[in-house]
Structure 1
Amino acid sequence: MKPESSSSALHPCNQHRTGYDFDVLVQAHPTLSQYVRPNAYGDDSIDFSNPQAVKALNQALLKHYYGVGVWDIPKNYLCPPIPGRADYVHYLADLLAESIPDFNPEKVRLLDIGTGANLVYPLIASHAYGWQCVGADIDAKALRNAQQIIDANGLQQQISVRQQPNPGSIFKGVMLPGEQFTITLCNPPFHASAAEALAGTQRKWRGLGKKPPQALNFGGQSNELFCEGGEAAFLTSMISESKLFARQCVWFTTLVSKASNLPLVYRQLKKVQAVTVKTVEMAQGQKQSRFVAWTFQSASSKKRI
């Protein structure tokens, strides 16, 4: 089985391809104005090491581009970059349109594994494509916050959340018996320990020219950043478990942060006898990322979706 591959910069449908228009964003969310300053090149920007500035930017982006008037996250929870999250969603839409004959985007059901307190993937997918979205997580506090976002924006008919009752499972207990999904997405924890996660956080702060923190006090809870065995173990479990739900979902997908984990992913997908595997390369500035998608269904099966 030879995985298919494609590559690009930000997706053509991504509204953030040309960068941030801070005049427009400040108009949408005036609170952002207190964080906007000229950078070393004289262009408007924010201090991306300041969690309050990043949160204000996200609030402005979600309000202006995705119709999310009320959005907040608890202190120290992951505050994700919106452009990269949007890219993943747009490439998923391409995957569905290309692979499912007579594709009807209004019938898509998306399952977000590890939706977090921020709920960003369902917010983007429901607004951009009208998909029905389910966000799942093991963290009860994160899900309470996600539900507050849903309620505050009147999105109860488009987005729902559910708690994973078993932290050792991924799809079990979340994908209910007989329930059908079109596609899943996931941004898995990619560190193997708290120490490894802290080292990664410190590298990011040094890259921003700031003194690195000595504790995990910015940018994510433990389950958002690391798990036993790291990304490789998580992906292995996800692929193995997906086989049990082969008839309940057309496409399973996940981000793979470390390119070195791709051979392992492909071996595991061959082991579970995935019918088709695709790898989509993505880019945001200097950051390279990718997601892997797999299906257990043939083309003829997809025609019924």
Structure 2
Amino acid sequence: MALNKFMHPRNPYKEKAPNFKALSLKYPEFAKCVFQDLKGKCHLDYKSPTSLRQLAIALLKEDFDLDVEMPLNRLIPTIPLRLNYILWIEDILKELAQVKGRGIDIGTGASCVYPLLGCKKNDWSFLASEVDETNFTMAEKNVQRNNMENKIKVKKVSGETALLELLEDETGDYDFCMCNPPFFADHMEAQAITSSRTDDRAEPTSVNTASVGESITEGGEVEFIRKIIVESVKLQDRIKIFTSMVGKKTNLPCVKKDLQDHKIPNYQSTEFCQGKTMRWGIAWTFDTNLSFPRSLFQESKKNKKLSAPLTYTVPQSAVDVYDVEHVADKLMGILKSLEIEYTKSDDSKAKRIHLKLTAYKNTWSHQRRKRREMKRQKEELKAVCTGRKEIGTEEQDDDNGKNKNVQEINVDDPSNKQINLKRKEAPSSDEHSPKKQKVEESLIPSDSDQGALKRKGAPGTEEHSSKKMKVGESLIPDGINSKNPSDQSGLKRKGAPTTEEHADKRQKVKETIGNSDREKKLRESKMTENQDNTTTKSEEAWKPRTSDSPVATSDSPVKARTSDSPVKEGDTDVFLIKCDLFITETEKVHIEMVYAEGQKDQMNQILQYIKNHIALP
């Protein structure tokens, strides 16, 4: 019975289990199901439907003075587990300003256990629905046996809707609705053939007596609860709080996803523990001012997480002045470089500074990879800048060359002889003519070659002549036939690019540098904007909830995200982790990080990053 410690604190069976020996002495039918071991201790066969029925009947009579009958071929309720659900509803209703004590039970069953317990304990009134004819008849009889006709109304429905048909002829508003839906989608899942139950998991200790309609529904419990969610949008003005039990933990994320898809602003899950069995509850409301209670199981998990904060002693070499203030300044610089938002509060008397941290993206992992990327970008930018300088030098040389070609040079001047020696004289037009003639002759086929070409369907002499002219023209350098000396200056520099090529190359370099400059300015502007908004965003993330703000619960639709999921621009409500960082001073300065919400493993990574960088200059 490892889970009994997580039962509801007001559940009477948490501290005191049912006394089978005392019950057997008082209820003869129950005594027939009890057997004693050699030590005289009484035991019950939980695999027997008769034993389960007599136990439920005896507990209801002994602890709640309820007289109930149950058929063996219908679902037999486990009283401690059903009581956990009622106690959870009690806790939720405490958060309402006005409580009428009116509830709805969807699929009440033959025992009508939820309405009977609610009316007996809290004097509530119930509207209960039932699809099965046998369950409907037996539920009405149980209501009559306990004289609760004025408190409980059982209504036969078709089952096509969860709530709409039930409320057609009814008036007034209701505080809550509750439901224990069919768990399974088909017989294969009901027999654990297609379920996610692992082989090493122990088999159920009790027998299932539920009918097909009570245990199987199309789409399983997820589809059944989805139907309630859809109808709750239409009935949000008539029912304040919607709840349902969930039989399988793997279905809980699917139900929460449906709540998010239907824009439900406030919801919360809980755990129902009893013996070796755990069930889950889901509650939602359209009232953003309502706070749902947390179960003992959730509180124990939270306390376990918070029981061991991460600590680190700051070395004296980390700061020039070894005190809380200077360490805090060093830490805030690191946090700013990581784009982690924070708010600062200090206690000068206690020598303690408190930083509330909120991280929206992982900026502390893969630092070596990021440094290599930054180095590569710097090298590319340096190469582009170097290319621009080389182009500028070539342009200057080109302009100087043109000026020298235009001006008159005195060959007899001794100062110009060195220039004439360095320049390689370009061939004249007469020197080009023999080369041109040889090229043209090589392109003219002989008579025998022309005959062979004609036999193969090659182009005629006229076509070759046109081709010859084009090739000849292409082989004549620019400026050969020009009379302007400046046009022929390009020939004097072997392989030098033309002015147009310089212009194109210069334009491409300018565009590349311009793009890199714009990207750099854009990154700097975004970083500046993030730093300016740091305090505002962090204050909004940690400010107390007002009456107009939605409740921030652990299951709210806007919550912590996974490290792989990206944060969209402007989506500042989706955080990666929230934690508290305390800087205290005794003999030395200590850092203590306490988890709040989100991915706890990220807090370890942040602290490790701080350890690696706090001592750096």
Query: Shorter chain as normaliser: what TM range?
Result: 0.7 to 0.9
**2:261 aligned residue:** 271
The alpha-carbon deviation at position 262 of structure 1 amounts to 1.8
Structure with bigger helix share is 2
Residues 1:243 and 2:240 are matched in the alignment: no
Identify the residue that residue 160 of structure 2 maps to in structure 1.
168
Partner residue, 1:290: 280
Q: Which amino acid aligns with 2:50?
A: Q
Are 1:15 and 2:8 counterparts? no
Q: Would you say the 8 A contact 1:28–1:63 is kept in 2?
A: no
Where structure 1 has 5 or more consecutive residues not aligned to the other structure, the ranges are 1-7, 213-217
Cα distance in structure 2, aligned partners of 1:31 and 1:158: 30
Match for 1:299 among 289, 296, 299? 289
Per the TM alignment, residue 125 of structure 1 is displaced from its structure 2 partner at its CA by 1.0
Map 1:118-133; keep pairs closer than 5 Å: 118-133=111-126
Letter in 2 for 1:68: L
Task: Tell whether the 8 Å contact from 2:56 to 2:79 is kept in structure 1 after alignment.
Answer: yes
Partner of 1:25: 23
1:227 counterpart residue number: 217
- Contact preservation (8 Å) 2:33, 2:44: yes
Question: Are the structure 2 counterparts of residues 22 and 144 from structure 1 closer, same or farther at C-alpha, using a change threshold of 3 Å?
Answer: same
Matched letter for residue 121 of structure 2: A
Distance in 2 between residues matched to 1:205 and 1:152, nearest whole Å:
39
Looking at structure 2, the residues matched to 20 and 282 of structure 1 have their Cα atoms a distance apart, in angstroms, of: 18
Query: Closer, same or farther in 2 for the Cα pair 1:182/1:34, shift >3 Å?
Result: same
Report if aligned partners of 1:279, 1:291 keep a CA contact under 8 Å in 2: yes
Relative distance call for 1:39 and 1:84 in structure 2 (3 A) is farther
1:156 aligned to 124, 149, 170, which one?
Answer: 149
Query: CA, structure 1 residues 260+208, in 2 after alignment: closer, same or farther (shift >3 Å)?
Result: closer
Deviation at 1:174, TM superposition (A): 0.6
Letter in 2 for 1:193: D
Cα 1:231–1:13 shift into 2, 3 Å: same
Name the stretch that deviates more: 281-290 or 26-35: 26-35
Question: Tell me, what secondary structure is at the counterpart of 2:147?
Answer: coil
Q: Does 1:72 align with 2:72?
A: no
CA 207–141 in structure 1, closer or farther in 2 if over 3 Å, else same: closer
Q: What is the deviation of 1:181? A: 1.1
Q: Is the 8 A contact 1:247 1:296 kept in 2?
A: no
Equivalent in 136, 139, 145 of residue 146 of structure 1: 139
Contact persistence 1:49–1:205 (CA under 8 A): no
Cα deviation code 1:52-71 (max 9, x no counterpart): 111111111111111112x2
**Partner of 1:26: helix, strand, or coil?**
helix
Query: How much has 1:146 moved relative to structure 2?
Result: 0.4
Measure how far apart 1:164 and its partner are.
1.6
SS of aligned partner of 2:6? coil
SS state at 1:292 partner: strand
Q: Contact (CA 8 Å) 1:16, 1:83: kept in 2 or not? A: yes
Partner of 2:189: 196
State the Cα deviation string for residues 197-225 of structure 1 (Å, max 9, x = none): 2348xx9995449xx9xxxxx51111110
Matched, 1:256 2:246: yes
Cα distance in 2 for partners of 1:39, 1:23 equals 12
Relative distance call for 1:92 and 1:266 in structure 2 (3 A) is same
| Matched positions, count | 280
Partner of 1:49: 47
Q: Look up the match of 2:80.
A: 83
RCO higher in structure (CA 8 A, sep ≥6): 1
The verdict on how the C-alpha distance between 1:39 and 1:206 changes in structure 2, with shifts beyond 3 A counting, is farther
RMSD value over aligned CA atoms?
A: 2.6
1:195 Cα offset (Å): 3.0
**TM-score normalized by structure 2?**
0.43
Greater CA drift, 170-179 or 131-140: 170-179
Larger Rg: 2
> TM-score when scaled to structure 1?
0.84
Task: Decide whether aligned partners of structure 1 residues 154 and 262 sit closer, same or farther in structure 2, where only a CA change above 3 A counts.
Answer: same
Partner Cα distance (1:243, 1:51) in 2: 40
Contact 1:114 1:136 in 2 (8 A): yes
Provide Cα deviations, 1:53-94, integer angstroms capped at 9, x if missing partner: 11111111111111112x212231001111000011001100
SS of 1:293's equivalent in the other structure is strand
1:108 to 69, 91, 101: 101
Matches of 2:288 and 2:35 in 1, distance apart?
53
The change in CA–CA distance for 1:222 and 1:207 in structure 2 (over 3 A counts) is closer
Residue 266 of structure 1 aligns to a residue whose secondary structure is: helix
The amino acid across from 1:83 in the alignment is: P
Give the Cα–Cα distance (whole angstroms) in 2 for the partners of residues 234 and 207 of structure 1. 24
Change (3 A) 1:42 1:273: farther
Cα distance in structure 2, aligned partners of 1:208 and 1:263 = 27
| 1:188/1:234 contact within 8 Å kept | yes
Q: Is the 8 A contact 1:29 1:63 kept in 2?
A: no
- Whichever residue aligns with residue 281 of structure 1, its letter is E
Letter in 1 for 2:233: K
